Structure 1
Amino acid sequence: MVDESHPNYLGLFAGKDSAPASAGKAALSADLILCVGEVLEEDFNVGSWSALLDPARKVTLGPDYVKVGDQYFTSCMLPDVLAALARSAPRVKRAKHPAPKLLPMAGQPHDPISSAALYPRIQRFLREGDNLVVEGGSCMFPCASILLPKGVSYEGQILWASIGWATPTTLGVALAEPKRRTIMVSGDGAHQLTANEIGVMGRYGINPILIVLNNGIYGVEDVLSERGHVYDDLAGWDYHTVPAAMGCRDWFCTRVETVAEFESALEEARNHPGACYLEIMIPETESQPLSKKTINRIYKTYSR
């Protein structure tokens, strides 16, 4: 993985959902596209098939092979190929395309939480060396625009977008790396599917920071299929009380509705020595963090 603090980092390619958009333009206009590791061009990875990389201009470096066009060269180990490229490839001091920037801050203290206010504050909350786990729901799109500090690892599964993945993944990541701070961002629909893992977090005394977005619906399902169905509505939970009900002790748990409350909760979470659970109340007008253009494109792709 290329650290996003590197001066030549341009962003994330995902077709028309590339973040920033200039990263998509750079990939699609490049003379040569060097793919390190197998690149799976499926589904959300390429913006719902909105833009595919030209195979004629793509060279893929796999674990033990190199693919050029339709031709495979086997018994080529990835470390050896990368070392050879590093020795022979021309040096580029600085990327010619614009570098991604921090998401701009928005929202006044007493405003309800909006996507424009939420994600820039999550971005600035991250610190060097954190783990960020993002659910495969509608929050994965704006989270892809977050510019990560040095050494931050991003865990996501946009290829399958299997909702409910993030909560148990947060458990696993935090158990595997107890000295690093693990932060989860998940919608409430996905979280309900696997929330029982919170009890396991309490049992083993791990200290993640869980940010749960309460919009009362299966948000990504509402985009993928016909909208407005009652089966996309969720049973209402008092999410911030769930950790205590599952036996978690000394957690900082709160529910926030305004920008000021969210900022205060983040500050408390930063200084709290144990686990934290932030329930973010999303207004009905903000139930989808995606633009209408993106929603309509996704709906047309998957509702057939």
Structure 2
Amino acid sequence: MSTETPAAPVVPADRADRADRAAAGPGTTTIAARLIARLRELGVEHLFGVPADYNLAFLDRVHGTELAFVGTCNELGAAYAADGYARLRGAGALLTTFGVGELSAVNGIGGAYAESVPVVEIVGAPATRVADAGLPMHHTMADGDFGRFERLHAEVTCDRVTLTADHAAEEMDRVLRACRQHSRPVRIALPADLVDAPAPVPEEPLVSGAPVPAELLDAFRTAAGALLAGAVRPAVLADHLAERHGAFEALADLVAAGPLPVAVMNMGKGVADESAPTFAGMYVGAGSAPATRAVVEDADCLIAVGVLISDGNSGGFSHAFPAGRTIDVQPYHARIGDASFPGLPMDQALAVLTDLVKGSVRGVLPVLPARPAAPAGAPDEPLTQAVLWDRFAAFVRPGDVVAAEQGTSFFGVAETRMPAGVTVVAQVLWSSIGYTLPAALGTCVAAPHRRTVLAIGDGSLQLTAQEIGTFARTGSTPVILVVNNGGYSIERAIHPTDAPYNDIAPWRYTELPAALGCGDHALAFRATTPAELDAALAAADRNPDRMVLVEAVVGPEDYPGRLAAIAAKYRRPAPASQA
């Protein structure tokens, strides 16, 4: 027999509003209403998740407000969707239930932490008195420990709290401020019995900027000015943290001020205008194009903005920045040589650099070779990766959102020079396959006026394919390009073997939209030749009000350019001394 206190009954929105006001009294609101208001203040208009008994009372309060609930097939999909949403909106949110739900979502929360994405996870928790009594409830280990899941989240969140009646307002504000400041996920557990408990109406904005000491700005200006003075080959190297911490426009102002050549790291794909003459390509250390490598490594003053050095972001740590001549600008500190400037926000550091560069420093703009067109071949020849990504480059439009799954798809997208205004969503560091399909759901919901184009491999899609049905439920109209190369081809590339463990089940991908309830909302095409691919992409352009899935069939050992080079390296026979 369960001893849990029953969840609050479902109440119509108008009655719920009256109940909130009655419970709160003058000058107060409810904990649920305050949390909803604070999420809206962060720019969150949608809450992804899965309903369950511990969170139903909160969902009743969400219903009928300006925070729309988007039900996903599972909590992992909700976490990925909130991540994609946050990359466009500045913050995202998901709702899970205690224990089983939040553990299903934790991989997505870990990815958001690694990739610096501000996601708020709200966990519907057992009633306070149940937890205080240590009762053996469902979704627990029946040992009375109701704190283990919060402790687990200490490893994948920048802050967390289980709300209490006495300090709910202060604690939720503290945690939400941490989410915004650090651009990383947080966990807020809301016990079911506190949903309608009173809380003070917010009197101050959640986030307000503190003034930066003038002496800090002056010191940075002096040190940066000394390094920029006389520089004849200055350059900018930008990465994802510039976008995550709201410095996108400040970065663009700096690049335009010189103008200065700007290269981007793998994780920074899309953070600079790739259609501009200042764009110098993607810098991945020794794997960079020669012109891009020269811009970065031969600079006599390199301004590195939000750069994270990791294996996948730096070409296996083969990067080489100019020794002693790099201005390293991070979200809340900067470094120039041995001088450190803690507490300096990125946007203000970039504003100082822009002032220094204007009218006095001019960079040598790069001359990037045009991407060679893929051999046209016969229209009825088998489709190749080269033709696929050539057509993809022509298909992407200014202002699109391009979601690129880690693997062969990201390698293809990375080599595509994007039109102006394109946002690229990828998970280069965490590299959790299956991420981009639910993340694309998040981008569709976050920006329905922009077209989302998803490029994903067949192996990755099989992890999260059920959210295709959620696209239809939300009225979303992405273009989904499924690269069908018969399994985990990136693993075949980096570890050549005939073993069958890289094979997957041969799904009929074009039948998925119908099987998952999309009906007339979706179109699906299978392309095995260039002519079939052209026809499918043309149909996608003609039907912007429908979701379009295109299965592009290529060979299992046919790879995009840079991945092909890696594959060739791994296939090279080992020297005799190492054999």
Q: Normalising by structure 2, report the TM-score.
A: 0.49
Equivalent residues in 2 for 1:113-262, closer than 5 Å: 113-225=383-495, 227-250=497-520, 251-262=522-533
The residue that corresponds to 1:84 in the other structure is 352
1:15 to 261, 285, 288: 285
- Residues 1:239 and 1:266: Cα distance change in structure 2 (over 3 Å): same
Q: Pick from 278, 286, 298: which aligns with 2:558? A: 286
Report the counterpart of residue 250 of structure 2 in structure 1: none
1:24 corresponds, among 273, 293, 298, to 293
Residue among 305, 317, 333 paired with 1:49: 317
Letter in 2 for 1:188: D
Q: 1:65 and 1:299 mapped to 2: Cα distance?
A: 43
1:101, 1:147 within 8 Å by CA — same for their partners in 2? no
For the residue of structure 1 that corresponds to 2:383, the secondary structure is coil
Structure 1 pair 56–159 and aligned structure 2 pair: CA distance change class (3 A):
farther
| Deviation beyond 6 Å, 4+ runs, structure 1 | none
Tell me which structure has the larger Cα radius of gyration: 2
User: 2:279 aligns to what SS in structure 1?
Assistant: coil
**Shift of the alpha carbon at 1:181?**
0.2
- Pairwise CA distance, 1:291: 5.4
Residues 15-63 of structure 1, C-alpha deviations (whole Å, 9 max, x = no match):
2332x442123212212221111x1211121122333435533221112
- Bigger drift between 157-166 and 63-72 goes to 63-72
Secondary structure in structure 2 of the residue aligned to 1:27? helix
The secondary structure found in structure 1 opposite 2:272 is coil
Task: Determine whether 1:267 maps to 2:538.
Answer: yes
Which residue identity is paired with 2:424? Y
Q: Distance in 1 between matches of 2:338 and 2:517?
A: 56
Residue of structure 2 equivalent to 1:106: 375
Equivalent residue for 2:331? 63
Offset at 1:245? 0.3
Partner Cα distance (1:100, 1:67) in 2:
33
Q: How far off is 1:278 after superposition? A: 0.2
**Percent of pairs with identical residues:** 32
Partners in 1 of 2:498 and 2:326 — Cα distance?
42
Contact kept? 1:136, 1:161, Cα under 8 Å = yes
CA displacement at 1:293 relative to structure 2 = 3.7
Give 3-state SS (helix, strand or coil) of 1:6's partner: coil
1:75 partnered with 2:343: yes
SS at match of 1:83: helix
How far apart in 2 are the matches of 1:293 and 1:103? Answer: 16
Tell me the distance in 2 between the aligned counterparts of 1:289 and 1:88. Answer: 39
Contact kept? 1:5, 1:150, Cα under 8 Å: yes
| Number of residues of Structure 1 aligned to a counterpart in Structure 2 | 298
CA displacement at 1:105 relative to structure 2: 3.8
Matched position secondary structure for 2:519: coil
- Answer 1 or 2: higher relative contact order, Cα 8 Å, separation at least 6: 1
Offset of residue 98 of structure 1? 0.9
> How big is the alpha-carbon RMSD for the aligned residues of Structure 1 and Structure 2?
2.2
1:230-250: CA deviation from partner (whole Å, max 9, x where unpaired): 111111000111111000122
Q: Evaluate the alpha carbon distance shift between residue 5 and residue 199 of structure 1 in structure 2; reply closer, same or farther with a 3 A threshold.
A: same
Counterpart-to-counterpart distance in 1, 2:292 and 2:329: 20
Q: Is the 8 A contact 1:7 1:99 kept in 2?
A: no
Q: Which has the higher helix share?
A: 2
Cα distance per residue 1:53-85 (max 9 Å; x no partner) = 355332211122102245421121222211111
Contact kept, 8 Å, 2:493 with 2:563, in 1: the verdict is no
Q: Is the 8 A contact 1:215 1:287 kept in 2?
A: no
Looking at structure 2, the residues matched to 145 and 126 of structure 1 have their Cα atoms a distance apart, in angstroms, of 13
CA contact (8 A) 1:129 1:151 kept: yes
Question: Any unmatched runs of 5+ in structure 2?
Answer: 1-270, 573-579
Residue 308 of structure 2, aligned match among 40, 59, 63:
40
* TM-score calculated relative to the size of structure 1: 0.90
The SS at the match of 1:45 is coil
- Tell me, which stretches of 5 or more residues in structure 1 are unaligned? none
Deviations 1:79-107 (A, max 9, x none): 22111111111556664321353452432
CA distance in 1: counterparts of 2:341 and 2:423, whole angstroms = 31
User: What are the superposed Cα offsets for residues 172-231 of structure 1, whole Å, 9 maximum, x if unpaired?
Assistant: 111100000000111111111111111111211100000001011112222344522211
